[in-house]
Structure 1
Amino acid sequence: MQRSNAWQPSATLEVLRERAALLAKVRTFFAARDVLEVDTPVLSHYGVTDVHLQNLRTHLAGDPAPYFLQTSPEYAMKRLLAAGSGSIYQLGKVFRDDEQSPRHNPEFTLLEWYRVDYSAADLMQEIAALLQFTVGAPPTQTVRYQDLFIQQLGVDPLADDAVVALQQALSQQPGLAELVIREKHLDTLLDLAMAMVIEPRLDPEIPTFVTDYPASQAALAQLSQGDPRVAHRFELFYGGIELANGYQELTDATEQQQRFKRDREQRKASGKSDTPEDPRLLAALECGMPDCAGVALGFDRLLMVFLNKRHIGEVLPFAIDRA
């Protein structure tokens, strides 16, 4: 009888040892900085309203209400911050009902942390220190989102005519003309430009922070008081991969509820399932969450960059096809 090899690990044992060593280094880094490790639920009564994310759902015996596998520990960690935890971090499993690709596995490990009384700039410095300590990364560089679009596409993403300008610029890129000709939504065009044109042009050898994202992509970030067209949000790219997404965190419960409402309206318009907003997060914000900056960093992707692996399955004990 011939047996399948699907029982075997996705990663080699050598890679799994490297994985364990990297986990240990991350914990050493935060212990030295007196940042508390926490462990929040993976299963929750509430999911996310984010238009670009989709929770996996399940049910418990005898309970007709759905439960949601978390796409991030963000909401629970913010409840801890409001309860007075101080700066915290978490290394844990999260789940996203998303496409499978060389960079995406439905179940993956996320490193997320929040630093009380830090600015986004302070947090970027700490991320740079983490990269140097854990994987020996070189010094980082920083570029504003607006400047990057002007440099690479000749388009100002904050201008009133950005939709038309992006359509024209992207239609000149190989294979993109048919995708953009009928697209009228600015954020969709911006995401397409970032993923298909700009991100591949970033130097993979230099960790690069892209800052000051458009306010329409603020998610849970504060808007800039100096320029309300942009948010205090950044992303980190390294090794040809998007590694991290960070914010100067929104602490206003009323504004957060309004953003949840807009998210739900956009989900409905795009034909996606509705997800009620999390009232426990809103209650925590109303109680008072301290000023802080936070970031989510893909641990598996960091290991991919460190070991020069091209598929996420190469750094996981068992990828989804072998789970």
Structure 2
Amino acid sequence: MSTEAAEDIAEIERQIKVKGDEIRVLKEQGTEKSDLAPHIEELLALKAKIPPTPEEEAKAKAKKEKEEKKKAQKQKQQPQKKKQQQQAELSETELRDVRLAKAQAMRDAGLEPYQYSYDPTHSAGELQSLYEGKLEGGEEDEDSMVKVAGRIMTKRGFGKLSFFTLQDESGTIQLQMEKKRLGESFKDLKAYVDSGDIIGAQGSIRRTDKGELSVYCTEWTMLTKSTLPLPDKYHGLTDISKRYRSRHLDLIVNPSVRDTFIKRAQITSSLRRQLDDLNFLEIETPVLHAVSGGAEAKPFETHHNSMDMDLTLRIATELHLKRLIIGGFPRVYELGRIFRNEGISTRHNPEFTSVEIYQAYADYEDMMDLTEQLVCGMAKSIGDTLELPYGEHTISLERPWKRITMHDAVREYIPDFDFESLDPSDPNSVIEARNAAKNAGVPKVDELPTVGDILNACFEELCEPNLIQPTFIIDYPVEVSPLAKPHRSKPGLVERFELFATGRELANSFSELTDPVDQRVRFEAQAEKKAAGDEEACDVDEEFLVALEQGMPPTGGLGIGIDRLVMLLTNAPSIRDVIAFPLLKGDAS
């Protein structure tokens, strides 16, 4: 730079300083922005006269190139974004047509959109575990070569680079797809693959610059082309009824739902293992019954055409399992489906799962110990603690559990009346019991014929909802327990317990009735109730009575509702959350 030029620049810099000082004074004096504008324009004009330094020129050039590159990339992505926006605006029927067209295009190109098999080497969960704490951002395990398969949950495209989230039964892993690695198949990837498709992918393991573990793909294979889109991640499957009705979608988009059914399987497996280890034998009994029995419930009715027989679906497995005890099997059980034609609620489904267990030479005390053992074992099969969250409560399964008679439980809520002191044979006792129940707010007691029935109604209304921690309610009235042995020391009661927790019944058990004469009397009393219009009363099962005449050893019996137990162990608020396909009303749509 010449001396003259340097002097010119020095003069301009002096003028810039003077003008800058002038502007600062004007600002301190509170000059309006509109009045300042000419002075600022003059200052900028002076600064523009100074040529940039080489460093400033390089910086300005780099900034310009970056802006031009960004602009070009944005223009390139606009058609893709426009295409995605257009697809998002399509109806489900139109989207299905688009996807079917892609499947046909694949066939036309010699590619099969519905493969027969694929052999993955790892699951997503295995890879996440294997590489936990390994590989820095941007680092690749070049010696690795893995194959994974699963459903594409999300996809993001950036020109010659795409990232997919692949989900399998164990979790998710990212797929990194680059044109330079995939070659011509990258074009097919962009043309044919949508979220919801099931694909296989092979490649090395790499951690992206942002730290995401990825399969750095060298090849991919369409395994199943999905013709329907997945629901929107945030809004598409929030309707509770739709979740139950479309359980397959619920399982795809809600990992917690899959986890519940995995735990359910682990729970039932644990139950079977425990019983097998205790030398119980699982034997299947009929689902179709000629005579409904084993519980008080309204059955589903059907008809066998070729035999011209009216039949019912079983409401319990009890009577057939007891006949096995009579036949010489000392320990038997059955884990299976039960059908009761009753209402639907958060704790009732007409088709449900129970286990019934019978042990010769045992009584209901033994069954209480067995119940604690089995439930704790099932809890430990899915976790390492017996302290379980359930809603707003923490449930402790630590043994032993509380045991209280039904009389004592009701006395806690009606302390000024003692049901136990009443004489069940005295008609005045029924009147007194009804009055006490009405005063306590128990509904519909006028239609109940006995003290035992009224006591049971008081328990169900006042006590049952408040039994949050595991509690055995023992010694029930004989009127509500037609298959239980009379209590050995308490007239009018039977040796029976029910297990309650979170305000729900989980299990039911008896010292089983082995006297055939007493059993016939109780069956006939049930038949009279049924003839009078009680749809839940059971019939007289003559085949069972004949078997009982042959002699049944002292026996303890136990039934556990598996669905409700799974609700407790998985913190599920509704029975529908733990039944894969609960019964629902027909969908009007």
Q: Give the secondary-structure state (helix, strand or coil) at the position aligned to 1:63.
A: coil
Asked if structure 2 preserves the Cα contact closer than 8 Å seen for 1:49 and 1:276, the reply is no
Larger CA deviation: 121-130 vs 183-192: 183-192
CA displacement at 1:92 relative to structure 2: 0.4
Asked if structure 2 preserves the Cα contact closer than 8 Å seen for 1:58 and 1:68, the reply is yes
Q: Take 2:365 and 2:537, find their aligned partners in 1: how far apart are those partners?
A: 35
Q: Take 1:281 and 1:78, find their aligned partners in 2: how far apart are those partners?
A: 8
TM-score normalised by length of structure 2: 0.51
Q: Take 2:404 and 2:288, find their aligned partners in 1: how far apart are those partners?
A: 37
Q: Please identify which structure carries the higher strand content.
A: 2
Q: Give the secondary-structure state (helix, strand or coil) at the position aligned to 1:142.
A: strand
1:33 to 278, 299, 310: 278
Other-structure match for 1:145: 406
Q: Give the secondary-structure state (helix, strand or coil) at the position aligned to 1:80.
A: helix
Q: Give the secondary-structure state (helix, strand or coil) at the position aligned to 1:98.
A: coil
Asked if structure 2 preserves the Cα contact closer than 8 Å seen for 1:29 and 1:130, the reply is yes
2:336 to 78, 88, 92: 92
Other-structure match for 1:133: 377
Q: Take 2:350 and 2:463, find their aligned partners in 1: how far apart are those partners?
A: 25
- The code of the aligned residue for 1:171 comes to K
Q: Take 1:275 and 1:19, find their aligned partners in 2: how far apart are those partners?
A: 31
Asked if structure 1 preserves the Cα contact closer than 8 Å seen for 2:297 and 2:536, the reply is no
Q: Take 1:35 and 1:49, find their aligned partners in 2: how far apart are those partners?
A: 21
Distance verdict in 2 for CA 1:237–1:227, change over 3 Å: same
Asked if structure 2 preserves the Cα contact closer than 8 Å seen for 1:48 and 1:55, the reply is no
Asked if structure 2 preserves the Cα contact closer than 8 Å seen for 1:235 and 1:244, the reply is yes
CA displacement at 1:188 relative to structure 2: 4.4
The number of residues matched between the two structures is 317
Other-structure match for 2:26: none
2:237 is equivalent to residue 237 of structure 1: no
Q: Take 2:541 and 2:534, find their aligned partners in 1: how far apart are those partners?
A: 21
Larger CA deviation: 295-304 vs 223-232: 223-232
2:553 is equivalent to residue 290 of structure 1: yes
Distance verdict in 2 for CA 1:156–1:270, change over 3 Å: farther
Q: Take 2:562 and 2:498, find their aligned partners in 1: how far apart are those partners?
A: 15
2:260 to 3, 7, 15: 15
Larger CA deviation: 12-21 vs 189-198: 189-198
Asked if structure 1 preserves the Cα contact closer than 8 Å seen for 2:302 and 2:310, the reply is yes
Asked if structure 1 preserves the Cα contact closer than 8 Å seen for 2:364 and 2:511, the reply is yes
Q: Give the secondary-structure state (helix, strand or coil) at the position aligned to 1:232.
A: strand
Q: Take 2:534 and 2:485, find their aligned partners in 1: how far apart are those partners?
A: 28
TM-score normalised by length of structure 1: 0.90
1:63 to 267, 282, 307: 307
User: Counterparts of 1:1-323 in structure 2 under 5 Å?
Assistant: 6-8=245-247, 12-48=257-293, 52-135=296-379, 136=386, 137-139=397-399, 140-154=401-415, 155-158=417-420, 159-160=422-423, 162-173=429-440, 176=442, 179-180=444-445, 182-186=446-450, 187-202=452-467, 204-205=468-469, 207-272=470-535, 276-321=539-584
**Structure 2 gaps, min length 5:** 1-91, 94-227, 229-241, 252-256, 380-385, 387-396
CA displacement at 1:63 relative to structure 2: 2.9
- The code of the aligned residue for 2:313 comes to L
Distance verdict in 2 for CA 1:184–1:81, change over 3 Å: closer
**Structure 1 gaps, min length 5:** none
- The code of the aligned residue for 1:157 comes to F
CA displacement at 1:84 relative to structure 2: 0.5
Q: Give the secondary-structure state (helix, strand or coil) at the position aligned to 1:231.
A: strand
Asked if structure 2 preserves the Cα contact closer than 8 Å seen for 1:156 and 1:162, the reply is no
Asked if structure 2 preserves the Cα contact closer than 8 Å seen for 1:78 and 1:284, the reply is no
Other-structure match for 2:19: none
Deviations 1:298-321 (A, max 9, x none): 000000111121210000010011
- Quote the RMSD (CA, aligned, Å): 2.4
CA displacement at 1:165 relative to structure 2: 4.0
Q: Take 2:419 and 2:532, find their aligned partners in 1: how far apart are those partners?
A: 23
Larger radius of gyration: 2
Larger CA deviation: 233-242 vs 2-11: 2-11
Q: Percent identical across equivalent pairs?
A: 29
Distance verdict in 2 for CA 1:256–1:130, change over 3 Å: same
Asked if structure 1 preserves the Cα contact closer than 8 Å seen for 2:361 and 2:554, the reply is yes
Q: Take 2:472 and 2:457, find their aligned partners in 1: how far apart are those partners?
A: 19
Q: Take 1:13 and 1:123, find their aligned partners in 2: how far apart are those partners?
A: 33
CA displacement at 1:274 relative to structure 2: 8.0
